[in-house]
């Protein structure tokens, strides 16, 4: 190979490498910085689907639905928080777990949570939800009072679910926190991670 050709091959190789690196960086960061879509609290179908999750014994009381994704690191932190911190009195809490995970199910049951395991497709088709972790709070009349994230910053230490519920119970409307975490639906995952570096 001639010297000029070698030089061009080198420059081309370095350019390819730099382009690939920038792309990889971009897609990795997108997953972290992108504020995931949260459902519209006024969505009637969603309200109905959520209301169906509340058993008869808990009707008339506040209910919290935790949409968590077993493969999502952000959801893992919320799990730890839910299962290890004191829960608010008189609030029915249930977990919509995307992707089966026996350990999580065991811990949730031990902590007094109802758990429903479902697929990403089921979550989207039944609830129209495409991202996690997502906190949904229903009022005593099964109306959707809160749909948003748990923390003010991504994976922040301060998981504010209890404060949000208490604020709602006090008759105030808390600000909806941004939803940082993972895309659950295939479409969202492909959008956030076109190179397949983060999601399988």
Partner 1 sequence: MKDTLKAILDTIRLPAELTQFEDRYLARVNKIATWFFVLHLPVFVLVAYLNDTGPGMAVLLTAAALIGPVVALKTFENPRNVSLMHGFTSMLMGGLLVHFGQGPVQIEMHFYFFALLAMLAIFANPMVILLAAGTVAVHHLALWYFLPESVFNYDAPLWVVLVHAAFVVLESVATCYIARSFFDNVIGLERIVQARTKEVDEKNKQMRLVMDNVEQGLLTVGSDGVVAQERSAVVDRWLGECRSGETFVDSLARVDERTADAFEAAFDQLGMGILPVECSIDQFPSEMAFDDRHFGLEYKPILRGEELVQLLVVLTDRTAIVRQEQLETEQRETMSLIERSREDQVGFLEFFDEAKVLVGAISEDLCEDLPLLKRTIHTLKGNSMLYEVHSIAKVCERMEDAMSETQRRPDATLLDELARRWDRLKQSLRVVLDAEERDAVQIRPEQYRELIEKALATPTHRELANMLMSLRLEGTRERLERVGEQAQRIGNRLGKRDIRVEIQDGGLRLEPARWATFWQAFVHVVRNAIDHGLELEEERGARGKAGGGTLTLSTSTEAGVFSIRIHDDGRGIDWDRVRTKAAAAGLPHETSADLEAALFHDGLTTRSEATLYSGRGVGLSAIRAACEERGGEVRVASRLGEGTAFEFRFPASEMAPSPTEYLAA
Residue that the structure tokens 């689907």 belong to: 49
Nearest distance in Å: CB 25, partner 1: 4
Q: In terms of CB distance, is 121 or 152 closer to partner 1?
A: 152
Q: In terms of CB distance, is 29 or 122 closer to partner 1?
A: 29
Q: In terms of CB distance, is 25 or 48 closer to partner 1?
A: 25
Among 195, 181, 192, which Cα is nearest to 71's?
A: 181
Max Cα distance, the chain (Å): 81
Nearest distance in Å: CB 115, partner 1: 21
Nearest distance in Å: CB 68, partner 1: 15
Question: Given the rule CB under 8 A, which residues bind partner 1?
Answer: 10, 13-14, 17-18, 20-35, 73, 76-77, 153-157, 178, 191-192, 197
CA distances to 48, 88, 97 from 192, rounded to whole Å, are: 29, 35, 21
One-character DSSP codes across 60-102: TSEEEEEEEETT-HHHHHHHHHHHHSPPPTTEEEEEEEES--H
Nearest distance in Å: CB 20, partner 1: 7
């Amino acid at each position: 190979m001639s010297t000029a050709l070698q030089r061009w091959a080198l420059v081309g190789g370095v350019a390819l490498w730099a382009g690939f690196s920038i792309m990889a960086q971009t897609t990795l960061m997108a997953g972290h910085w992108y504020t995931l879509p949260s459902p519209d609290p006024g969505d009637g179908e969603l309200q109905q689907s959520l209301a169906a999750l509340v058993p008869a014994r808990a009707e008339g009381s506040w209910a919290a639905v935790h949409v968590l994704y077993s493969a999502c690191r952000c959801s893992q932190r919320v799990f730890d928080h839910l299962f290890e911190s004191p829960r608010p009195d008189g609030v029915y809490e249930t977990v919509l777990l995307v992707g089966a995970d026996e350990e999580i199910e065991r811990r949730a049951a031990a902590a007094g949570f109802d758990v429903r395991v479902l697929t990403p497709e089921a979550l989207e088709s039944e609830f129209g939800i495409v991202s996690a972790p997502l906190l949904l709070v229903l009022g005593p009349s099964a109306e959707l009072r809160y749909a948003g994230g748990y923390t003010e910053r991504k994976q922040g230490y301060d998981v504010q679910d209890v404060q949000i519920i208490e604020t709602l119970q006090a008759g105030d409307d808390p600000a909806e926190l941004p939803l940082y975490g993972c895309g659950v639906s295939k479409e969202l995952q492909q959008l956030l991670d076109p190179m397949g570096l983060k999601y399988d």
